[in-house]
Structures are given as C-alpha cells and as structure tokens.
Amino acid sequence: MDNINLKTFPINLQLEGRKCLIVGGGKVASRKIDKLLDSSSDITVICTKPSQKIIELSESKTINLLKRNFYLDDIIGFFLVYASTNDRALNNKILDACHKHNILCCAVDVNWKKGTFITPASFHNDGITVSVVSDGKSCKYTKHIKNHLKKHNNKIKEIDLMVIGTDHRYLDTNEREAFHNLCNSNITKEMLSNILGIHEFMLINTCNRVELIAVASTDEITRKLVLKILNFDNLNKSKYYIKYSEEAFRHLSFLAAGIYSQLIGENHITYQVKQAFENSEKFNITGSMLKNCIDTSLAIAKKIRNSTAPIIKPKEIEDLTVLYLNKYLSSTKKTNIAVIGSGQIGELIINRLKDSNSNLYWFYHSRKPSIDGVTILNMNDLESYSNEIDILITAVSSEAPILTKRNSFNKLVKAIDLGIPRNISQDFSDNIINIDDLKYWYRKNICSIETIIDICEKIFKENKNSYEKIFNNFKNWSKGQQSIQTSI
C-alpha cells in the first residue's frame, strides 16, 4: 500500500474496561501504555525484557505483565493489539493473526500500513482530546502541531471578553493618528492572530477610537503582547483602557449605542461595529463566541437608543456638518462649497446640501459619483477651482494629509476636516475645524451625560445575564454529564 495515498478516518474509541494487548516492552511500548492508561482500558503486556517503567506499572497492579515469549494465539480475546516489538517479521505475523480474528491492530514499525488503525499525535486535558494525523506522511510534523495546540489549549482555559483601546476621551485627534494607521495594517492583524492567548478578535478603527475587542486569555503575557503590537505600551496608562469580563461587555454595549461617541447617540457606530466584525471574518480571526457578544451587545444597544433618543436627539456627522455650516450659508448669495471624497460621508453631506442655496463641487479620486445638480470633478481639477471655493469639506480615507498648503484658496472662509487621520495639514489654513472640534461644538448643547448614563446602566443591568450565558456555558461545560472531545 502506498502511504502517500493512505486515507484514514478520525475516530475516538471507547476502551474503558476493554482488553488491550501490547506485544513488546521497550520505549515505544511504554508510550502506547501511557495513552491506553488514559482510556481506563484493561492492559496486558507480553515481552521477555520489560522496561523498568513497565515493571513498576505491573508491580502496582496498573497493568498485567506476562514476562515470556509471545505466541500468536495470545491475541485471542483482546479487543485491540499493538505489535510493538523490534522484530519486523514478528510484528507482521501479529497483524496477520489479528486480521484473521477481526481484532483492531497497529504496528509501530514499517508494517503500520497493514494495520487497521494508527495512533495520532494527541493529548488529553480536562475532558478535551486533541489528535493530529498526517495520513502517515510525517510523524514529526504532527507531533509539532500537537505540541503547539497543547500550548493553545492551556491558554483557552481562562478566556473572557477583553477590550483594549483608546478614544477621543483619552487622546485628541492628532495623538490618535498614528494608532489609526497601525490598526489599518494587515501586519497588525497577523501579529495579533499569532498570540496564543488571542482566540477571536476584531479591530474597531473609527474617527473616534481604536479598539481591540477579543475573546482572549486574561493572563499578563497576553495583555502585554497586545499593548506592544498596538503600540499602547508607549502611552501613559491614563491614555488607554483595558476592560475584561462584564465590564468589557458593558463597554461594548454602550459603545454600540453611541454613548461613548463624540456625538452621543450617533448611529454610524452601529454600522462600524458590524463592519469591523465582517472584516475580521474575512481574515478568519473571529468565531461564534465573539459573534454572540457582538449580536447581544447590539440588541442591548438598540434598547438603550430607544430609551435615550428623546433626550439626546442624536445627530449624525453629516447632519452636524450642515448644522454647523448654517451660520456661513446665505439665503441671498450663493456659497461655493467643495466636498472632497465620494464615500458614504461625502455622499450624505452632498445630499444634505442639495437643497441649500449653494454651488456644489464634488471631487472624487477613483470612484466617480453620479448625482443631478452637482458639479462632479476629479481631484486633479481641484487646483483649477480652488480660487472659487468658499467652504471646503474633506471626508477621505488617507494615511497622510491630501491638502498641505492653501495655495490659491483665496476665498476660503472655512475648511472642515472629517478625515481620520487628518485630510488637511495645519499649515493649510487657520480656518480649519476638525471632527473633534465639530462634535465638541455640538455636545455643549445637549443634556447632562450623567442623566444618560443612569438610563444606560439600568438597561444594562436588566440584560447583563446575556453575557453570563455566553461565557458561563463555555467555562462550565466540564461540569455537565457528558464529556466533550475534539478531534483535529
């Protein structure tokens, strides 16, 4: 039989109380005994020169030892047999005899292809069995994978929801820029996915915040590695937050409700949370537990929104931009407004401004938009129209500023930079307002945040058992009546 084409079927045998025979008494035989001992089987060893370990197991009545030569009739009555001698011809005869009597058998030498099963590289820990096979291609490779998974399994034991991040409450826009760029990097995702203690995760990277939300081990090493990769270890501890367990779930629920946004109660964050999870799915870095956390927190967030909306009267960034511009828009004289960026925010702002008494110029880079009543232009044409623009609005996703000097923007009254990182550098104009400034301008006019938080806390308290169900079912599974086994 060609071992390259060998096909196997993964299965876990229930051997408790069943009679199993090992022919041979060396190191390999001893390793097979160790595996069988975990299964609570009835073990018999037949050999002329048993190892010291086998002798000790026999003296303690853990196994049965027959210190003599093996005879082919010895296999009769056994459920499973290992041919583990250093005699290839004898091992071959043992397999033939087992086949004749329909007994499960395995040889530990080149005869293994003639057996009815092979023993995978495996480990058993707290009711979990993990086994790895390569269909006979490489024992060393499967052993390496098994050892890696064993380390991973140890990290899974104490998992919980973890949030590590920073936002506008801790760092201003300029300070956050470098962290936004870092979290956009695929390398960052790769590094995080290679931490043993991080089992599922997603990165939320919005104009307000940079956050890792993960199902992760709660040990110190995992936390330090995450801080290092996100570059938070260079920040003062007062400049970022770390939350675990119920506190992390509370944070996620409030976050999804827009309570931690600069525009309290804004709706874009719901889409951003969902989008962040979808992106993590594309990278295969998330799973069912984090999905349950996200879905449940979004459900709680919806209840919070319904209860706080009459108080907050939330405004989206596009509405806030137009609201802010009202003091610059004239009912008699047309204002020339340029919007740079054909993404979601740029499109929403254009739609809000269509009914104003303004000339609208919409500049795009790669995706050309289509809308009536608006002059559509490529970014390359911006310089040609710059001396006509009264108000400039940028909403572009870019790692560096797209406008660095004012040049011929002679009529410019106000520039609104909605980009994170910044779209407009500080040397462009003295009349720039960024997204933090805009939100602060609005936030001064709403009710006390303490009133809103009290409502949120009450709703969360009524629904926090949802979190307990997600993680307690995982943590307490071993207390059930049935054991769970995983074969890989």
Report the distance separating Cα 368 and Cα 366, nearest Å. 6
Mean pLDDT of 316-331: 83
- Asked if residue 487 belongs to a domain, the reply is no
CA-CA distances (angstroms) from residue 185 to 205, 341, 459?
A: 11, 22, 36
Whether residues 425 and 372 share a domain: the answer is yes
pTM: 0.61
Point out which residues pair with 378 in neighbouring strands: 364
pLDDT in tens, 168-185: 999 988 888 889 888 888
Cβ 374 vs Cβ 350: under 8 Å: yes
Strands 209-217 and 159-167, how do they pair? antiparallel
Tokens 């706080």 sit on residue: 308
Does the pLDDT value for residue 96 go beyond 60?
yes
Q: What is the CATH number of the domain that holds 168?
A: 3.30.460.30
Asked if residue 171 and residue 298 are part of one domain, the reply reads: yes
What's the number of CA atoms in the CB half-sphere (13 Å) around residue 338? 27
| Residue 448, in any domain of the structure | no
Q: Looking at the structure, do residues 33 and 130 belong to the same domain, yes or no?
A: no
Same domain, 138 and 200: no
Domain span at 151 = 120-157
Residues 104 and 225 in one domain: no
In a domain, 8, yes or no: no
Mean of pLDDT over the chain: 87
Rg (CA), the chain: 33
Within a domain: 77: yes
Q: 297 and 253: one domain?
A: yes
Q: Do the domain assignments include residue 5?
A: no
- Secondary structure of 212-275 in HEC code, one letter for each residue: EEEEEECCHHHHHHHHHHCCHHHCCHHHCEEEEHHHHHHHHHHHHCCCCCCCCCCCHHHHHHHH
In this structure, the answer to whether residues 112 and 82 fall within a common structural domain is: yes
- In which band, very low, low, confident or very high, does the pLDDT at 278 lie, cut at 50, 70 and 90? very high
Q: Are 415 and 367 part of one and the same domain? A: yes
Final residue belonging to a domain, choices 142, 157, 172 = 157
- Domain annotation covers residue 67: yes
Indicate whether 238 and 293 sit together in one domain.
yes
Domain boundary among 62, 95, 119: 119
Q: What value, to the nearest 5°, has the Cα angle with vertex 88 and ends 84 and 56?
A: 25
Enter the tokens of residue 129: 């069995």
299 and 186 in a single domain? The answer is yes
Whether residues 305 and 383 fall in one domain: no
Q: Give yes or no: residues 174 and 152 share one domain.
A: no
Which of 230, 247, 218, 217 has the alpha carbon at shortest distance from 166? 230
Domain count, the chain: 4
3-state secondary structure of 360: strand
In a domain, 201, yes or no: yes
- Residue 114 or residue 474, greater confidence: 114
Give the model's pLDDT for residue 487.
34
